[in-house]
Chain A
Amino acid sequence: MVDVTPGSRDAVPPAEVPDVELYHPHSWWTTYVFSQDAKVIAIQYAGTAMAIGFVALVLSWLMRLQLGFPGTFDFITPEAYYQFITMHGMIMVVYLLTALFLGGFGNYLIPLMVGARDMVFPYANMLSYWIYLLAVLVLVASFFAPGGPTGAGWTLYPPQAILSGTPGGQDWGILLMLFSLILFIIGFTMGGLNYVVTVLQARARGMTLMRLPLTVWGIFTATVMALLAFPALFVACVMMLFDRLLGTSFFMPALVEMGEQLSYGGGSPILFQHLFWFFGHPEVYIVALPAFGIVSDLISTHARKNIFGYRMMVWAIVAIGALSFIVWAHHMYVSGMHPYFGFFFATTTLIIAVPTAIKVYNWVLTLWRGDIHLSLPMLFALAFIVTFVNGGLTGLFLGNVVVDVPLSDTMFVVAHFHMVMGVAPIMVIFGAIYHWYPKITGRMLNDAMGHFHFWVTFIGAYAIFFPMHYVGLVGVPRRYPELGETAFIPDSVHDLNAFITVAALIVGFAQMVFLFNLFWSLRYGKEAGGNPWRATTLEWQTPQTPPAHGNWGKELPVVYRWAYDYSVPGAPQDFIAQNDPGPPNLPRHA
């Protein structure tokens, strides 16, 4: 424990970094297009991710139209429906959530929050974005390829993924999907190296690990996980490409298709499932951990109170990151695994609920007796907590083998994962955008449009996914484009499906308002000033808003305290910035 006496404060020499260390752009192209500045790359990442996310949103509308009003729309054939669900799932999980949290928020916030001028490998960072863009374009190209995109389901399970019965299986669809994923992983690795090494190496003076904002902890841990988990998807994709293009039988068993014996034989589809879920489960937390981190900072800032149990929060993030690598087979309970195997994975799955619950308690306890400002970021943060608890609880159902087996492949699973890794992280993304938009643009987002967006999205999300749990419990299977005349499915399910579809259309519309707000406020938003939320973390203390190239003026900030000094008794303001030496003789608030 270190104290600064008033006299010794001047003794700290400011850490001056020679200017030559930083890359300087020379033209419009290198400033705004092929930029090596993490802030520009962040906006490029976020813009691309939101654009492709919009495609996924439209796909979800089409799916819902089919489910709510089957047979009404001629162009939604069963094949098209499969293509929609596949592309919707893959885009949302990989190309939107992963790219936006790590590529978008990671790039923008890491250098600013740790007090660095930029990422440590700016050139690789730039390449990362352009390879990501290429991956997105390859993915989009599959919509226009002969046969259309793949309809194999986002899990791309073989053998069906590469057979002619599946849309895109013997056409371009699956190939473009696999190539796109491989590109994404290569691009991500370049960015990921940056995020990790910047946190390790480029922290400002005084920024110990335990003074990092939880946002950085979340993104850092998620990136480490992603760097170790994405190779599994890479291996799965490469091996499936071999099966599809070179005729190997890594995954493909002996098959008869349309009365014809295929040349495959002896392969194991389960092997693919292991590889896929070895990536797939950590992926859930790759999306969730940045959300956990960001929401901690939002709650603390907007409740004007230090985060409850900071150390516990850090340990929980690390523990969740480690544990998430030994739970993957809980996605495979119905694959015919050994019962003891299932028992093991059910146990680890339930253990992961412990650190997660610690985080939820700490968020709630941070709110307890806080000075809660119901600003838009706080509203979204609260919506996240509620939604995450909801989805987490159904996760406990599905983590148990005996409960999972009957619920597997029903709409219950769909409702569960949309709540826990769809709606919940997206609430955080919205909250984070409302929170950091003033720093990125210098203007506030419009409040009235924001409130409309929040309430419609929040209530609408529940109108969509709450009924879906019941639909699943009745036994309605997922991935069926049409239920038809099925004895065990009552009429009420059809009514619910129509209701869900209407809700989904309305929620989708609210996102257009949000999108409009992003552009409208750029010009007409209220001037924000440097630190509109009166927050402590370093990104709000930059000399300019939006931060200029190099983030800080001549001198890098020196960090004197942790990120959560809100409402400190005796302090002149209700927050003390991290780079503020603070008034002398400030009483301890232990």
Chain B
Amino acid sequence: MSVILVFLLVIAGIAGWWLSQQRLMSKPWLEHGPDVAFAQEDVTGMPTAKIGLGVFLAVVGALFALFASAYFMRMELSDWQAPPVPRLLWLNTGILFLSSVALHCAVLASRNDEIRTTRLALITGGLTALAFLAGQLLAWRELAAAGYFVDSNPANGFFYLLTGMHGLHILGGLVALALTTYRTWTKPLDGRLKLGVELCAMYWHFLLFIWVAVLVLLAGWASDFIDICRQLLS
């Protein structure tokens, strides 16, 4: 369970930092009147939707951290045999990276009010993400064709489980991305739409990060790294 505990430590750090800004030492029973330190605008000054997405990403992060924890705990048992990582995954990683870059371009373009570039970048991002999903399916077929079925070894099970779970999150993101892209035609490029583009990009970058973490896990580098750390400590 160490992965999730480290993850929670990070969350606790962020929460602790935020709480430390909230004057938890104040004595509210001595205060009367509106607090001068309390600004007129939104409480944090950040858009509400962005904070909402941030909290959601923390939940997604916890989910994958827990999967990673389970992966490491199951790995220690004797029947574990990791499947080879299909080389296609490297190509897929590149495609997902391109997708993230495209969405980043969309954010930049929307900031400059270049509506056509924004649309182009959004569509590119969506299509590359679809290509990534197709690539993942091909990788599954490749593995299955080589005899690595989901039930033949827990390591294979985790391979399908983690890639599948990540794919589902991409799929959900694609719905939001499609809606935002559609809105670039129907709505003016105002602050609201720009925020929507930015949130899509934020989600995409996060899922790219999760994917790299999953890949590192599946390729066995994570356990190698931990072994090296253990040797250094002992």
Q: Chain A interface: which size bin?
A: 35 or more
Whole-angstrom distance between the Cβ of A86 and the nearest chain B Cβ: 24
State whether the Cβ of A144 lies closer than 8 Å to any Cβ in chain B: no
Contact B34 A250 (CB under 8 A): no
The residue in chain A whose Cβ has the minimal distance to the Cβ of B150 is A246
Chain B positions within 8 Å of A396 at CB level: none
How many angstroms from the CA of A322 to the CA of B70 in the assembled complex?
22
The answer to whether the Cβ of B77 comes within 8 Å of any Cβ in the partner chain is yes
Identify 15 new A-B residue pairs, CB closer than 8 A, beyond the known A205-B34, A564-B29. Answer: A1-B27, A2-B36, A121-B49, A200-B51, A206-B38, A232-B4, A235-B67, A242-B161, A266-B79, A266-B80, A268-B74, A278-B1, A325-B8, A562-B29, A589-B29
* Complex: chain B residue closest to A232, CB-CB: B66
Q: Does B212 contact A (CB under 8 A)?
A: no
**Are A239 and B19 touching (Cβ within 8 A)?**
no
Which residue of chain A lies nearest to B45 when distances are taken between CB atoms in the complex?
A201
Binds A, one of B54-62, B118-126, B135-143: B54-62
22 A-B residue contacts at CB 8 Å?
A2-B31, A120-B52, A192-B59, A197-B51, A200-B43, A200-B44, A200-B51, A201-B48, A203-B43, A209-B22, A228-B11, A232-B62, A235-B63, A250-B74, A265-B79, A266-B77, A275-B70, A311-B28, A318-B19, A325-B5, A560-B32, A562-B29
B11, B33, B70, B157 interface centre (most CB from chain A within 10 Å): B33
Residues of A participating in the B interface, judged by any CB pair closer than 8 Å? 1-4, 8-9, 12, 15, 120-121, 189, 192-193, 196-197, 200-203, 205-211, 224, 227-228, 231-232, 234-235, 238-239, 242, 246-250, 263, 265-268, 271, 274-275, 278, 306, 310-311, 314-315, 318, 322, 325-326, 558-562, 564-565, 581-582, 586, 588-590
Q: Is the CB of A211 within 8 A of B157?
A: no
Quick one: which of B80-103 are within 8 Å of A by CB?
A: 80
Q: A209-B24, A210-B22 are in contact. Are A249 and B151 (CB under 8 A)?
A: yes
Which residues of chain B are within 8 angstroms of A263 by Cβ–Cβ distance?
151
The answer to whether residues A12 and B55 also contact, given A210-B22, A246-B157 and a CB cut-off of 8 A, is no
Q: Is the CB of B151 within 8 A of A228?
A: no
Instruction: Say how far B190's CB is from chain A's closest CB, in angstroms.
Output: 14
Say how far A259's CB is from chain B's closest CB, in angstroms. Answer: 22
Whether A278 lies near B31 (C-beta < 8 A) is no
Q: A197-B52, A278-B66 are in contact. Are A3 and B35 (CB under 8 A)?
A: no
Are B12 and A239 in contact, CB atoms less than 8 angstroms apart? Answer: no
Query: Contact: A121 with B74, CB < 8 Å?
Result: no
Q: In the complex, which residues of chain B have a beta carbon less than 8 angstroms from the beta carbon of A206?
A: 33-35, 38
CA gap between A318 and B30 in the complex, in Å: 22
Closest to A8 in B: B33
Report A285 CB to chain B, min CB distance, Å. Answer: 14
A231 touches B34 (CB 8 A): no
In the complex, whether B26 has a CB less than 8 A from a CB of chain A is yes
Q: Are A208 and B8 in contact (CB under 8 A)?
A: no
A311-B24 contact given A248-B151, A306-B29, A564-B29, CB 8 Å threshold = yes
Cα distance A189–B62 when bound, in Å? 12
B171 within 8 A of A: no
Nearest-neighbor residue (CB-CB) of B66 within chain A: A235
Interchain CB contact under 8 A, A1 and B77: no
Which DSSP category, helix, strand, loop or mixed, fits chain B's interface?
helix
Contact partner, B40, options A15, A268, A582, Cβ 8 Å: A15
Which residues on the B side are within 8 Å of A9 (C-beta)?
33
Q: Which residues of B contact A311 (CB under 8 A)?
A: 24-25, 27-28
Q: Is the CB of A235 within 8 A of B70?
A: yes
Interface string of B1-27 (1 = CB under 8 A from A): 100110010011001000100111111
Cα A275 to Cα B151 in complex, Å, equals 21
Contact with A along B110-154 (1 / 0, CB 8 A): 000000000000000000000000000000000000000011001
Q: Check: B73 CB closer than 8 A to any chain A CB.
A: yes
Q: A557 to B88, alpha carbons, bound, how many Å?
A: 58
Q: Which residues of A contact B28 (CB under 8 A)?
A: 208, 210-211, 310-311, 561-562
Closest 9 pairs (CB-CB, A-B): A4-B33, A266-B79, A562-B28, A248-B157, A247-B151, A206-B34, A231-B63, A209-B22, A235-B66
* Bound CA span A126–B146, Å: 46
Contact of A582 among B24, B32, B38 (CB under 8 A): B32
A95→B232 CA distance, assembly (Å): 48
How many Å lie between the Cα of A205 and that of B33 in the bound state?
A: 11
Write out the residue numbers on chain B whose beta carbons fall within 8 Å of the beta carbon of A582: 32
Q: How far is the CB of B49 from chain A (nearest CB, A)?
A: 8
Residue of A nearest to B158 (CB): A250
Shortest Cβ distance from B67 into A: residue = A235
Q: How far, in Å, is A158 (CB) from chain B's closest CB?
A: 13
Specify which chain B residues have a CB less than 8 angstroms from the CB of A278 in the assembled complex. Answer: 1, 4, 66
Q: Are B70 and A210 in contact (CB under 8 A)?
A: no
B59 near A231: Cβ-Cβ < 8 Å = yes
> How far, in Å, is A218 (CB) from chain B's closest CB?
16
Contact A227 B40 (CB under 8 A): no
B65 → A minimal CB distance (Å):
8
Query: With A197-B52, A266-B79, A271-B73 in contact, do A561 and B150 touch (Cβ < 8 Å)?
Result: no
Complex alpha-carbon distance, A589 and B56, angstroms: 42
Contact partner, B24, options A192, A314, A562, Cβ 8 Å: A314
The answer to whether B59 touches A242, judged by C-beta atoms less than 8 angstroms apart, is no
Q: Are A274 and B24 within 8 A (Cβ)?
A: no
Docked complex Cα distance between A121 and B50 (Å): 12
- Nearest CB of chain A from residue B100's CB, rounded to whole Å: 23
> Which residues from chain B contact A266 at a C-beta distance below 8 Å?
77-80, 154
Is there an interface contact between A562 and B51, defined as CB atoms closer than 8 Å?
A: no
* Nearest CB on A from B137, distance (A): 17
Chain B minimum-CB-distance residue to A210: B28
Given A4-B32, A242-B150, A325-B8, A205-B40 contact (CB < 8 Å)? yes
Instruction: Collect the chain A residues with CB atoms within 8 Å of residue B158's CB.
Output: 250
Q: Which of A203, A315, A562 has the most CB atoms of chain B within a 10 A radius of its CB? A: A562
Complex CA distance for A516 and B62, rounded to whole angstroms: 43
Contacts of A267 in B (CB 8 A): 74, 77, 154
Query: Are the C-beta atoms of A231 and B62 separated by less than 8 Å?
Result: yes
A4 surroundings in chain B (CB, below 8 A)? 32-34
State how many angstroms separate the Cβ of A352 from the closest Cβ of chain B: 15
8 Å CB contact of A197 from B22, B37, B55, B80: B55
CB of A561 within 8 A of CB of B24, answer no
Which residue of B has the minimal Cβ distance to A13? B40
A399 CB to nearest B CB, Å: 19
Which residue on A lies nearest to B59, using beta carbons?
A: A227
Q: How far is the CB of B61 from chain A (nearest CB, A)?
A: 9
Q: Give the Cβ gap from A120 to chain B, nearest Cβ, in Å.
A: 5
Task: Provide the bound-state CA to CA distance between A210 and B28, in Å.
Answer: 6
A268 and B43 contact, Cβ closer than 8 Å, known pairs A231-B66, A242-B161: no
Contact (Cβ within 8 A) A562 B31: yes
Question: With A and B bound together, what is the CA distance between A560 and B52 in angstroms?
Answer: 28
B11 touches A193 (CB 8 A): no
A234 to chain B, nearest CB (A): 6
Instruction: List, in ascending order, chain A residues with CB within 8 A of B66's CB.
Output: 231-232, 234-235, 275, 278
Report the nearest B residue to A190, measured CB to CB: B56
